[in-house]
Amino acid sequence: MTFDPLLFGEIDPPQRLLMGPGPVNAHPRVLRAMAADLLGQFDPEMTGYMNQVMALYRPVFGTQNHWTMLIDGTARAAIEASLVSLVAPGERVLVINFGRFGLLLTEILGRIGAVVETVDAPWGEVVPMEAIAAAIARTAPRVVAAVHGDTSTTMAQPLDGLGELCRAAGALSYVDATATLGGMAVETDRWGVDIVTGGLQKCLGGPSGSAPITISDAAAEHIFTRRHVERGIRRDDIADGAGQRIGSNYFDLAMIMDYWSDKRLNHHTEATSMLYAARECARVALGEGLDARFARHAAAGRAMTAGLRAMGLTVFGGDAHRMTNVTGVHIPGGVDGERVRTAMREHFEIEIGSAFGPLQGRIWRIGAMGYNAMKHKVLITLGALEACLMREGFALPPGAAVNAALEGWDA
């Protein structure tokens, strides 16, 4: 079968307002940065930008860690790189599980060949620190892995004290902060955790495809014991470690760290345009000020929650541990949730999210993060949802949502 490639035309996507759990609309400054000219991977300008990225992301992660950099790939690339580089087959890992992305950690670890233990909470709740402490004492893990904010449940797991528990047990720790980095405080050093990873496509207001990561000295030392440089790029100044070889070449953090170090090991070709994007995401965040940025996300979350409740809808999960940037809301009885999502998209060019697993068909997930955590975007979304619900025959007080959101923003 033949086709005329000109029939496809130039890409011209609709200008949708992405108010789901991510991705969100990228900041225009980030998109402009991505249009800059490409450079060779060892050009001094390029390696200079790499060093700048390392410096820019340390405050974003709340850390002084030297090993703060990027993994080329979506947020999941950094998750997998962390786990495959920390954990050897047969080692025991404790996963703090309270949603879909805790289950993802168990999935990745199972493929690695780890012995996986979990300490669980129902979807919509978080795991108490005392339960985590008891699970660590019971299982004696080599690594403890957690998600900070799980967008599947819209809950944020408290992590104060986790690092201390892990160190006392001789365990390393990993945290997936994909959904919170740049929107809620991620305090790597204060938590005392060893590896934290993120993504650009949520609170940082960039495109998916580059994954920031920070690695403690203790985790780096362990990872370098597993270093095994591939034969075609071996050098006299880089020695293999005595430990078991990391089970992935692309996600081998030992070689990736050597690439980001002064050694500049030729592990892969850096995704130049994505590095530009990640650099600008951090510049935007730090230029705004992290405290101001966290306050803006909190205001957006308050406003969204207040508006949804003013419509007579029931917000999912407890307020005490709700993420500021994603709100779950029960689909009212008698309303077709997918018809409403379709109407939001077709009539208003607004996307809101559906749900996974036990919450599929039961809740919508509505985000307000990064470039979209703005008062007018929250108000537009609530007004559109109100109109779509009324068209479905759901009785609600017209205009109440927007008024409640305006009050909630300034509360």
Give backbone dihedrals phi and psi of 311, rounded to 5 degrees, phi first. Answer: -75, -10
- Average pLDDT across each block of 10 residues of the chain; the chain has 411 residues. List them in order: 76 95 97 97 96 98 98 98 98 98 98 98 97 98 98 97 98 98 98 98 98 98 97 92 96 98 94 98 98 98 98 96 97 97 98 95 98 98 98 95 97 85
Q: What is the pLDDT of residue 132?
A: 98
One of 3.40.50.720, 3.40.640.10, 3.30.390.10, 3.10.180.10 is the CATH number of 28-285, namely 3.40.640.10
Q: What is the pLDDT of residue 5?
A: 72
Closest CA to 104 of 61, 75, 143, 70: 75
How would you class 368 by CB atoms within 10 Å of its CB: exposed for 0-12, middle for 13-18, buried for 19 or more?
buried
Q: What is the pLDDT of residue 105?
A: 98
Q: What is the pLDDT of residue 9?
A: 83
Query: Residue 72: which residues within 8 A CB-CB, separation 6 or more?
Result: 209, 210, 211, 268, 270, 271, 274
Query: Residue 128: which residues within 8 A CB-CB, separation 6 or more?
Result: none
Q: What is the pLDDT of residue 1?
A: 63
Fold of 290-409: Aspartate Aminotransferase, domain 1 (3.90.1150)
Omega before residue 23 within 30° of 0, cis: yes
DSSP codes, 225-279? TT----GGG--TT-PPPSSPPPS-STT-HHHHHHHHSTT---SS---HHHHHHHH
Q: What is the pLDDT of residue 6?
A: 74
Contact between 219 and 68 (Cβ < 8 Å)? no
Q: What is the pLDDT of residue 302?
A: 98
Show me where the domains of the chain are located: 28-285, 290-409
Terminal CA-to-CA distance of the chain, rounded, Å? 61
* Domain 28-285 and domain 290-409 have a common topology: no
pTM, full prediction: 0.96
Query: Residue 53: which residues within 8 A CB-CB, separation 6 or more?
Result: 69, 70, 275, 278, 279, 282
Give the number of residues written for the chain.
411
